């Protein structure tokens, strides 16, 4: 039985003024607990709460407040356009949206919501990027988080089986689905990672990853709060900010580590760290080697998914091999479903860190498990005789990983088809040195430019889901059945 999720928050040395720093603003654990207690008091009893996940102390306070009160948190990417944002709010049925200070929010690109307490017009729920637009804005009451408010939260510890997070994540087609992540799954994962990485209260964790995904939010915020380590969130994950932060433990996606290797001075400043950790996408072997040359560290690589949290990793006290994601974390079992005689196949998992299904989508949940109850990752892997795992690729080319973000080709295609000038669209992930894959859109369209279409998608969905390139074709290659043949598209 693991300890309550936020155990270390109430520890006696909680008055250290820089326990938590986000984008240059610091606070103590005591102050965080007090302000989060005030949030908890305001939202207690709500079935679910959305948080506009800017990289700010307010976001951390909002998330901690909701977790104290036992209210499931739905992080909303701060740059999400109306289609994506409305889908997340409607699908999760979040009636409250916790945000930073009101003035800051007004400067953002958030779609206008109804005045506090007055639900907006009820529109037909439509998936993000569904042809025909998303309809009127989702009805939601905006609740600004005030860091000056304080309250001692005295409510009971929520049930470990209760949902901590509803994390929206893309599939190959359609709108993102809400993955239900329990409190005990988060606790089990963070404890397993702390063990594998020898992560303790002596560490200072540094990263600048977005606070709406597992990597930046679950590992990067709750991990620090649970282990008791200091946290420096750099706002953006730039090499210069990482170098300046002087941490012992660093998290990054491969794009971040690639950029660090392109900035040798920044890279050398990381020599004094204890551990550099890469995840969310494959770390290219050349980046691994350059990091070792410049920093003296062989990075730890770990593998995970929104639905499973982190399940495989190399260890602080073990071998770190380029191209390998190590061995299962404590409690995780893996197998490779390979065809007779083959060594590679789909990676399947069981263990305490797995999600509780997709919100309101029982068929998708059932479809993500094998008949004998193992989770199907959709990743193709091999397991070496010494137990080290290698991720070879993904089973479907319609799930793209760009800059560590998971993006469904179908969601971007639907967003493009919402543009009146676009008649057909096919989206692929093309290999890219810095982003791993970049989104390339092939369209049949008249009277619209590449830049207009890129801005259109960036405006409807999150900015990172925009195509980086658009190719105009007279027709998409199709088979005899009329199905688009992405393999026959011309090179990007
Ligand atoms: C550019 N911008 C635009 C447009 N073009 N804005 C609007 N419309 C446009 N057409 C602006 C953006 O707003 C942004 O501004 C700037 O240009 C750069 O945007 P972006 O594309 O985000 O930058 P990038 O440099 O390509 O980003 C690289 C990155 C990012 C920083 C590495 O990809 C990133 O943060 N990745 C992390 C993803 C992650 O955490 N994944 C974890 C998933 P401004 O700069 O002002 O904002 S969890 C997971 O995978 C599992 C569980 C696991 O294993 O971890
Ligand atoms: P997400 O749901 O955003 O968490 O993305 C999960 C996907 O990221 C996995 O299914 C993998 O395809 C990919 N991924 C995460 N970590 C790694 C890694 N270390 N190596 C290769 N792929 C990874």
Interval 367-411: pLDDT, tens: 999 999 999 999 999 999 999 999 999 999 999 999 999 999 999
**Per-residue pLDDT averaged across 77-103, rounded?**
92
Residue 254: its H or E element: helix 254-261
Residues enclosing ligand 1, CB less than 6 A?
79, 209-210, 213-216, 237, 253, 255-256, 279-280, 304-306, 403-405, 454-455, 458, 463-464, 466
Long-range contacts of 214-218 (CB under 8 A, 24+ apart): 214/167, 214/304, 214/305, 214/306, 214/309, 214/310, 215/251, 215/253, 215/279, 215/280, 215/304, 215/404, 216/251, 217/53, 217/63, 217/75, 217/165, 218/165, 218/181, 218/186, 218/189, 218/190, 218/309
Query: CA-to-CA distance for 346 and 349, rounded, in angstroms?
Result: 10
302 CA: nearest ligand 1 atom: 54
Domain with residues 399-488, CATH architecture: 2-Layer Sandwich (3.30)
Which DSSP category does 488 fall into?
G
How high is the mean pLDDT of the chain? 92
* Residue-level pLDDT at 311: 98
CB 47 within 8 A of CB 359: no
469 with 450: CB under 8 angstroms?
yes
Q: Judge whether residue 125 has pLDDT over 50.
A: no
Mapped onto helix, strand or coil, the DSSP state of residue 266 is: helix
Label residue 102 by pLDDT band (50, 70, 90): low
Whether 394 lines ligand 2, by a CB cut-off of 6 Å, is: yes
Joined together, the tokens standing for residue 444 give 């049949």
- Find the angle CA(386)-CA(250)-CA(265) to the nearest 5 degrees: 110
On the question of pLDDT at 225 being above 90, the answer is yes
Confidence class for position 138, pLDDT limits 50, 70, 90: confident
**Which ligand is the nearest neighbour of the Cα of 353?**
1
Residue 126 confidence (pLDDT) above 80: no
Is the Cβ atom of 229 under 6 angstroms away from ligand 2? no
Give helix 409-417 / helix 450-460 axis angle, nearest 10°. 110
Of the chain, the end-to-end C-alpha distance in Å amounts to 51
**Using one digit for the tens of pLDDT, what is the confidence trace for 267-324?**
999 999 999 999 999 999 999 999 999 999 999 999 999 999 999 999 999 999 999 9
pLDDT > 70? residue 66: yes
pLDDT of 340 above 90:
no
The fraction of the chain above a pLDDT of 70, given in percent, is 92
Nearest-Å Rg of the Cα atoms of the chain is 22
* pLDDT (tens digit per residue) in 427-467: 999 999 999 999 999 999 999 999 999 999 999 999 999 99
- Alpha-carbon span 324 to 283, nearest angstrom: 9
Please report, for the chain, the start and end positions of each structural domain, with discontinuous segments joined by +.
Answer: 1-395, 399-488
pLDDT of residue 1: 56
**pLDDT at position 7:** 75
CB atoms within 10 A of CB 447: 7
Q: pTM of this prediction?
A: 0.93
What contacts 24+ positions apart, CB below 8 Å, involve 109-115?
109/79, 109/81, 110/52, 110/78, 110/85, 111/81, 111/82, 111/85, 111/86, 111/137, 112/137, 113/137, 113/138, 113/139, 113/140, 113/141, 113/142, 114/139, 114/140, 114/141
Q: What is the pLDDT of residue 342?
A: 87
pLDDT the model gives residue 9? 76
Predicted local distance difference test score (pLDDT) of residue 115:
34
Q: What is the mean pLDDT of residues 2-30?
A: 86
The confidence score (pLDDT) of residue 121 equals 33
Looking at 3.50.50.60, 3.40.50.2300, 3.10.20.740, 3.40.50.12780, the CATH number of the domain 1-395 comes to 3.40.50.12780
Q: Is the CB of 63 inside a 6 Å radius of any atom of ligand 2? A: no
304 lines ligand 2 (CB under 6 A): yes
Using the predicted structure, report yes or no on whether residue 116 has a pLDDT greater than 90.
no
Q: What is the dihedral of CA 408, 411, 417, 422, to 10 degrees?
A: -30
Give per-residue burial for 316-343: e unless 16+ CB within 10 Å, then b.
Answer: beeebbbebbbbbbeebebebeeeeeee
- Region 349-355: what's the mean pLDDT? 98
How close is the Cα of 220 to the center of ligand 2, in Å?
A: 16
pLDDT above 60 (res 104): no
- Assess whether the C-beta atom of 301 lies below 6 angstroms from ligand 2: yes
């Amino acid at each position: 039985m693991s300890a309550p999720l936020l155990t270390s928050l109430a520890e006696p040395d909680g008055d250290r003024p820089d326990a938590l720093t986000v984008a240059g603003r610091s606070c103590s654990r005591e102050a965080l607990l007090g302000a989060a207690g005030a949030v908890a008091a305001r939202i207690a009893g709500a079935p679910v709460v959305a948080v506009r996940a800017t990289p700010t102390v307010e976001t951390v306070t909002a998330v901690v407040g909701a977790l104290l009160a036992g209210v499931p948190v739905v992080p909303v990417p701060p740059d999400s356009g109306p289609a994506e944002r409305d889908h997340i709010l409607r699908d999760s049925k979040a009636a409250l949206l916790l945000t930073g200070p009101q003035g800051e929010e007004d400067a953002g690109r958030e779609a206008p919501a109804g005045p506090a307490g007055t639900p907006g017009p009820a529109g037909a729920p439509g998936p993000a990027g569904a042809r025909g637009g998303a309809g009127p804005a989702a009805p939601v009451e905006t609740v600004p988080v005030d860091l000056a408010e304080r309250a001692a939260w005295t409510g009971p510890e929520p049930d470990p089986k209760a949902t901590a997070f509803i994390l929206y994540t893309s599939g190959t087609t359609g709108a993102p689905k809400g993955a239900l992540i329990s409190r005990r799954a988060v606790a089990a994962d963070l404890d397993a990672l702390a063990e594998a990485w020898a992560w303790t209260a002596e560490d200072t964790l540094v990263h600048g990853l977005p606070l709406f995904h597992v990597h930046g939010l679950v590992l990067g915020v709750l991990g620090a709060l649970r282990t008791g380590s200091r946290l420096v969130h750099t706002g953006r994950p730039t090499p210069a900010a990482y170098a300046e932060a002087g941490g012992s433990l660093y998290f990054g996606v491969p794009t971040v580590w690639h950029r660090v290797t392109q900035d040798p001075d920044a890279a050398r400043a990381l020599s004094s760290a204890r551990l550099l950790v890469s995840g969310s996408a494959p770390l290219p072997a050349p980046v691994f080697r350059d990091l070792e040359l410049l920093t003296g560290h062989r990075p730890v690589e770990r593998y995970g998914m929104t639905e499973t949290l982190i399940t495989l990793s190399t260890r602080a006290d073990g071998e770190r091999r380029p191209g390998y994601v190590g061995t299962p974390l404590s409690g995780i079992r893996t197998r490779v479903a390979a065809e007779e005689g083959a060594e590679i196949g789909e990676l399947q998992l069981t263990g305490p860190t797995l999600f509780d299904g997709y919100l309101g989508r029982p068929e998708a949940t059932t479809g993500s498990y094998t008949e004998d109850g193992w989770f199907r990752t959709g990743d193709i892997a091999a397991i070496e005789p010494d137990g080290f795992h290698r991720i070879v690729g993904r089973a479907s080319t319609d799930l793209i990983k760009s800059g560590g973000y998971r993006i469904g080709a179908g969601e971007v295609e639907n967003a493009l088809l919402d543009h009146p000038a676009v008649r057909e669209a096919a989206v692929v992930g093309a290999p890219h040195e810095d982003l791993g894959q970049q989104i390339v859109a092939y369209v049949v369209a008249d009277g619209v430019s590449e830049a207009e279409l890129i801005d259109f998608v960036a405006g409807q969905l999150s900015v990172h889901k925009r195509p980086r390139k658009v190719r105009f074709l007279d027709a998409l290659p199709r088979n005899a059945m009329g199905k688009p043949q992405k393999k026959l598209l011309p090179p990007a």
